[in-house]
Chains A and B, each alone.
Chain A
Amino acid sequence: MKISTKGRLATTTALASIVLIAGMISWANHEVDDANAKRRQTIELTRGLTELRLVTFEYMLNRHERARQQERDVSQRLDRAIAANAFSGPRQSEVVSDLRERSTTSHRIFEELAAADAADADPDSVKRFEAQLSSRLLILQQESLADAFALTDFSTERINAAQQRVVLVIAAGLALIALTTGGGAWLVHRDVLAPIACLEQATREVASGNWNHKLAVVSDDEIGELSRTFDAMTRSLQASFAQIERSNQELAALNQEVEAFSYSVSHDLRGPLRSMDGFSLALLEDYGDKLDDEARDSLQRIRAASQRMGRLIDDLLGLSRVTRVELALKPVNLSEIAREIADSIDQQNPARAVQWVIDPGLTLRADKALLQIAMQNLLENAYKFAGKTEQPVIRVGAIERDGAREYFVADNGVGFDMAYADRLFGAFQRLHHESEFSGTGIGLAIVQRIIRRHGGTIRAEAKPGLGATFFFKLKEQSA
C-alpha cells in the first residue's frame, strides 16, 4: 500500500472518530433536552395534582361555588397536560393512560358530589356519599401523584443513561484517535524515516565509490519506488564509470603505443639519414676531384635533404613530447625567460642588431620548461621574420582584452596575409617559401600545443610587410 494511501486512511479514521463524537454529543444533548422537557411536564403534572387535591378539600370544607369552578379549571388543565405527555415507552404509556383514567374518574366523582350538593338531598346521605367520595378521591389522587413521580424518575433515568453513553462514546472516540495517531507515527517511522535513513546511507556509500551497494527494498510504496530508481541509477552510474575506466585503460594503452612509437622513431629513423649524409660526404671527400659539378651538387642535395629530414624528425619528436610531458605549474617570470632567450639569440647572431623591448615583471602560472620552449619558438620566429627589416623591433608584453590578460610577442617583420591565418598553427604548415625563411613549419604547432595544454588559446594578427603579433592567454592567469 502506498504511503499516501495509508496517510489518507489514518486521516479519514481520525476525522470519522471526531464526527462520531460530535454526533454523539449532539444526540446526547438532544436526548437530555427532551428528557428535561418531559421532567418539567411531569413536575407540572405533579403540581396540578397537588392543586387538584387542595381545591377538592377546599370545596368539601366550604362548599363554595368558586372552589368548584377552580376544580373544573385545574382538572381541564391536568387533562391537557396528560394529553401533551408524549412518553413513548410501553410502561410510561401505561402510566400515562392510568393517570388519564384516574383523572377522569376523579373528576366524575367530584361532579357527582357537586350534583348531590346542588340537589339538596338528605344531609345524611350526602354526608355518607361525601365521606365515600372524598376517601376515593384521596386514594385516586395519591395514586396519580405516585404515577407522576414515577414518570419524573423515568426522565431522570433517561438523562443519566444519555450522559453515560456520551462518556463512553467520547472515551471510545479518543481511544480510536490515539490509536490512529500512534499507528500513523509508527507507520511513518517504519515506512518513511527508516527507509530514508537507509537511502541516505546508500547515497553516502555510492558517493564514496562503493558501486555495489544495493538498497534492495521490496515495498511497493513511494519509498520503494524511489529506492528502485536509486538502485537503477547506481547501476547506470557503475556502468558509466566502468565505461570510463575502460576508455582510460584504452587511452593509457594508446599512450604507451605512442610512447613506444616515438622511442622507435627517435632510435631507428635517424640511422639511415646518417648513412645518406655520411656516405655522400665520404664520396665528396674521397672522390670529389673525379666528380663534375653536377655530381657534387647532387651529393650536396642528398646531404641537405638528409639533414632537413633529421631536423623534421627532431621537431616532430619535440611536438609529441610536448603532448606527453606532465605539467608542473609554478609561478613563472615570462620577462626573464624572454630576456634570456633574446640574449642567447643575439649571441648566436652577433652580426644582426635587433631591438628587444621586453616589459618587466610579466609573471604567470605555467610549466616553466614548456613555456620556455613556446617562447623560444615565438621569439626565434619573430627574429627570423624580422630579418629583412631595416630597424627590427621585437616586443614582449601584456594587454587586457575582454577582461583577460593576454601576453604578446610582436615583430615588425614581413608579416603575413590574414587570409592564411587558420593554417598558421598546423604542423608542417608554412606561409613562406623555405628558400626565403628556413624552418620545418612545426614551431607554431608546438607553441599552440603548449598553450592548449595550459588550457589557454593563441591567436595572431598580422599585415603583409608590417609584421605579426602573437597573443596568447593561459587558463591560470594569477601568478
Chain B
Amino acid sequence: MSDANKTILLVEDNADDVALTLRAFKRSHLMNPIAVARDGVEALDFLFARGDHADRANAPLPTLIILDLKLPKLDGLSVLKALRADDRTRLLPVVILTSSKEEQDLISGYSLGANSYVRKPVDFAEFVEAVKVLGIYWLMMNQSPPERTAP
C-alpha cells in the first residue's frame, strides 16, 4: 500500500503499547518499516546517528515520527524541542501519540512544533482505527518535506 522505504520512528517506552501499535499498523495493512526508540535519548541518537546508532550515518531519516510524551531520560517535549532546533529535522513530521489530553500537553506540543496530536483510546478497536487513519494520512496523503539524510 505504501512506499516501503518510508520508515516510521516510534518513540515509546511501554512495551505493551509498542506491541499494540505494531499490531495496529499490521491490522491496518501498513507495511512500512518501523524503528522503535525506548526513550528520548535513544530517539535523538537514532535521528542524529549517535551512540548505539552511529552506524546510521548517511541513512535516510524517517518519514514520520510517532512520539509519546512521557518517556524515561528525556521526555517527548524535550525530544521535540531538540528536533525543531536542528536544521536536518526541523521540518520532519511529528505526531504526538499519548494517553493524556491535558490542556498543558496540547499547548506545549503544538507550541514546540508538533504536526498533530492524537490521544491513545483505551478501546483497542478505536486505537487501530486511529493508527490506520494516521498512517494513511501521513504516509500516503501527506506530501513530505524535501528529504535529507542523516549525517
Contacts and interface: CB of A to CB of B under 8 A. Distances in A.
Interface string A242-281: 0000000000000000000011001110111111011111
B17 A271 contact: yes
B55 interface: no
A36 interface: no
Interface residues of B, number: 22
7 cross-chain pairs, A with B, having the tightest CB-CB distances, nearest first: A310-B122, A278-B124, A275-B16, A266-B100, A278-B20, A281-B124, A270-B99
A181 interface: no
A412 interface: no
B101 interface: yes
Interface of B: 14, 16-17, 19-20, 23, 69-70, 98-104, 120-125, 127
A282 interface: yes
A452 B102 CA distance: 23
A285 to B, nearest CB: 8
Given A267-B99, A268-B70, A274 B23 contact: no
B69 A307 contact: no
Contacts of A106: none
A306 B125 contact: no
B20 A275 contact: yes
B16 A274 contact: yes
A278 B16 contact: yes
B124 A274 contact: yes
A263 B75 CA distance: 14
Given A267-B69, A267-B70, A274 B100 contact: no
Given A270-B122, A278-B127, 14 more contacts: A263-B100, A263-B104, A266-B100, A266-B102, A267-B69, A268-B70, A270-B99, A271-B16, A274-B20, A274-B99, A275-B17, A277-B123, A280-B124, A307-B122
Contacts of B125: 281
Contact of B23 (A278, A307, A310, A321): A278
Contacts of B120: 270, 274
A309 B101 CA distance: 16
Given A274-B127, A277-B123, A266 B23 contact: no
B24 to A, nearest CB: 8
Contact of B14 (A271, A280, A309, A321): A271
A309 B69 CA distance: 22
Given A263-B102, A278-B16, A306 B69 contact: no
Nearest to A262: B102
A437 to B, nearest CB: 21
Contacts of B101: 266
Contacts of B19: 278
B99 A268 contact: yes
5 contacts: A263-B104, A267-B98, A268-B70, A274-B127, A282-B23
Contacts of A273: 122
B70 A274 contact: no
B69 A277 contact: no
A310 B123 CA distance: 9
